[in-house]
Amino acid sequence: MTFSKELIEEIRAAFPRAAADFNGRKRAFFDNGTATLVLDQAAQAETEARINWSANVGGIFDESKQASAAIHSGRVAVADFLNAPSPKSIVSGESATALLFNLSYAIGKELTGSENVVITDYEHYTNVDPWEELRKREKVQQVRYAQLNMEEGTLDINHLQELIDSNTKIVAISAASNMLGTKSSLEEIGKIAREVEAYFIVDAVHHIPHGPTDVQSLDCDFLVFSGYKLFSSHGSFLYGKEEHLNTLKPFKVKPAPKNPPGKFEWGTRNQAMFAAISGVIDHFRWLSSEVQANYVGKYTEYSEQKRDLKIAMDAIEQYETGLSKAVLTGFDDIPGLLEIPEVKVLGLTDINRISERDPTFSFEVANIPEEEVVTRLWKEGGIAARAGHYYSYAQDVYKKPKIIRISLVHYNTFEEISTFLKTLNKIIKNR
């Protein structure tokens, strides 16, 4: 399914900076893997909460009651988005990094020092160092890294399976690599983790805007994502199975709540971030209403908001698959990344396996430095891309401290891809 011209225009209209930046400069925003653009509805809801409901929770006056209500609605919205059984299983925090460190400290208290953690060679460092810290403090013996099939940029699942044994207490995996775009086979990995009763932890920060995420069907123990990668404000959310949230003992100050989610939340909550994420969920519900006709009889096992959110994310996933194909194979008159001999894409390029990747592409251009490529893409084509290190462990594995990356989301268009490819082809020709 692709979005109609009218629908993509309406989607873009919901993002004040989709077409042009604050200077009015028209550009294609292809740096979404770093941070997505902000949805108007999310920013408005955030401002309303900041100005009108700025009071702290627990008071008898309206500003305080509204702050509590915004936090509760935000938790319900996130729970429905993830198909979590209850809003009580949604913890908020400053960032995914902060939430995973907090979680690692809490799990570390249960460990004896003889256990191991299994991660992969394509984790973001956010899902590396909380576990390496456990090793340094002798809470676990080893952090084991599952290898990649380097040529195709996928996870070597057999190696992952070999690394997991009865001493594995944590299997922590990203839903998709923020460098390669490859998605992990989370269902399969979850099964392997459960066989040894390890905590199965998912870093969904990169994948979250690209398709449906369902914590119950994944049967994961924890899953984390960040609002600024989902058209919202900074601040992140951690889903945890209630049984674990009840029994784990996070670091906390004494008077803070004894029960989840409050017991995992450091300091005062930010009602504005909950209001903002509710705005994003409303956008997805609107999108779902626009594409309903394609989903008659589908996702009927979910009710109301949950079903709408599944439909919206499914539609987004399908639209983005089309974008990925266009990036790789181009158009009738414009070669795609795969057809330009000077370009090497690091990651899955097999068109028959396109559904195994998100529209995030890291690539290099023979004989042209990365900085020059992104500078010329920007100046000559108005393409906002980046060359750098994205805190991905995979960059160290591939020995690519700097790499060009473009990452697309559902407000990006085929026209933008066409401009990008034309400009890139021109840069290569005219050097």
Ligand X SMILES: Cc1ncc(COP(=O)(O)O)c(C=O)c1O
Residue ranges that bind ligand X, judged by CB under 6 A: 95-97, 124, 126-127, 174, 178, 203, 205-206, 226, 236
Work out how close the CB of 72 gets to ligand X at its nearest, in angstroms, rounded to a whole number: 23
Q: Kindly tell me which of 174 and 321 has the beta carbon lying closer to ligand X.
A: 174
CB of 127 to ligand X, least distance (A): 6
Residue closer to ligand X, measured from CB, 97 or 288: 97
Cβ distance to ligand X smaller for residue 66 or 270: 270
Residue 226 beta carbon to ligand X: minimum distance, rounded to whole angstroms = 4
Phi and psi torsions of 169, nearest 5°: -110, -20
Three-state SS letters, the chain: CCCCHHHHHHHHHCCCCCCECCCCCECEECECCCCCCCCHHHHHHHHHHHHHCCCCCCCCCHHHHHHHHHHHHHHHHHHHHHCCCCHHHEEEECCHHHHHHHHHHHHHCCCCCCCEEEEECCCEHHHCHHHHHHHHCCCCCEEEEECEECCCCEECHHHHHHHCCCCEEEEEEECECCCCCEECCHHHHHHHHHHCCCEEEEECCCCHHHCCCCHHHHCCCEEEEEHHHCCCCCCEEEEECHHHHHHCCCCCCCCCCCCCCHHHCCCCCCHHHHHHHHHHHHHHHHHHHHHHHHHCCCCCCCCHHHHHHHHHHHHHHHHHHHHHHHHHHEECCEECHHHCCCEEEECCCCHHHHHHECCEEEEEECCCCHHHHHHHHHHHHCEECEEECCCEHHHHHCCCCCEEEEECCCCCCHHHHHHHHHHHHHHHHCC
Closest distance to ligand X from the beta carbon of 32 (Å): 11
385 within 8 A of 378, measured Cβ to Cβ: yes
Distance in angstroms (rounded) separating the CA atoms of residues 236 and 413: 28
Shortest Å, Cβ 94 to ligand X: 8
Smallest gap, in angstroms, from Cβ of residue 390 to ligand X? 6
Of 36 and 168, which has the nearer Cβ to ligand X?
36
Nearest residue to 169 (alpha-carbon basis) of 249, 108, 121 = 108
Separation CA 80–CA 123 (nearest Å): 26
Quote the least distance from Cβ 367 to ligand X, whole Å: 29
Question: Which lies closer to ligand X via its Cβ, residue 97 or residue 270?
Answer: 97
For residue 372, give both structure tokens: 């020059």
Residue with tokens 């924890």: 222
Residue 52 CB, shortest distance to ligand X, in Å, is 27
CB of 388 to ligand X, least distance (A): 11
Closest CB to ligand X among residues 285, 357: 357
Give whichever of 73 and 126 is closer to ligand X, judged by the CB atom: 126
Sequence-separated (6 or more) residues with CB below 8 Å from residue 228:
35, 36, 234, 235
Nearer to ligand X, 43 or 176 (CB): 176
Q: CB of residue 274 vs ligand X: minimum separation in angstroms?
A: 16
Residue closer to ligand X (CB basis): 178 or 412: 178
CA distance 283 to 271: 19
Residue type, 151: E
Report the residue number, 92 or 236, with the smaller CB distance to ligand X. Answer: 236
CB 209 → ligand X: shortest distance, Å? 11
User: Which residue's CB is nearer to ligand X, number 36 or number 41?
Assistant: 36
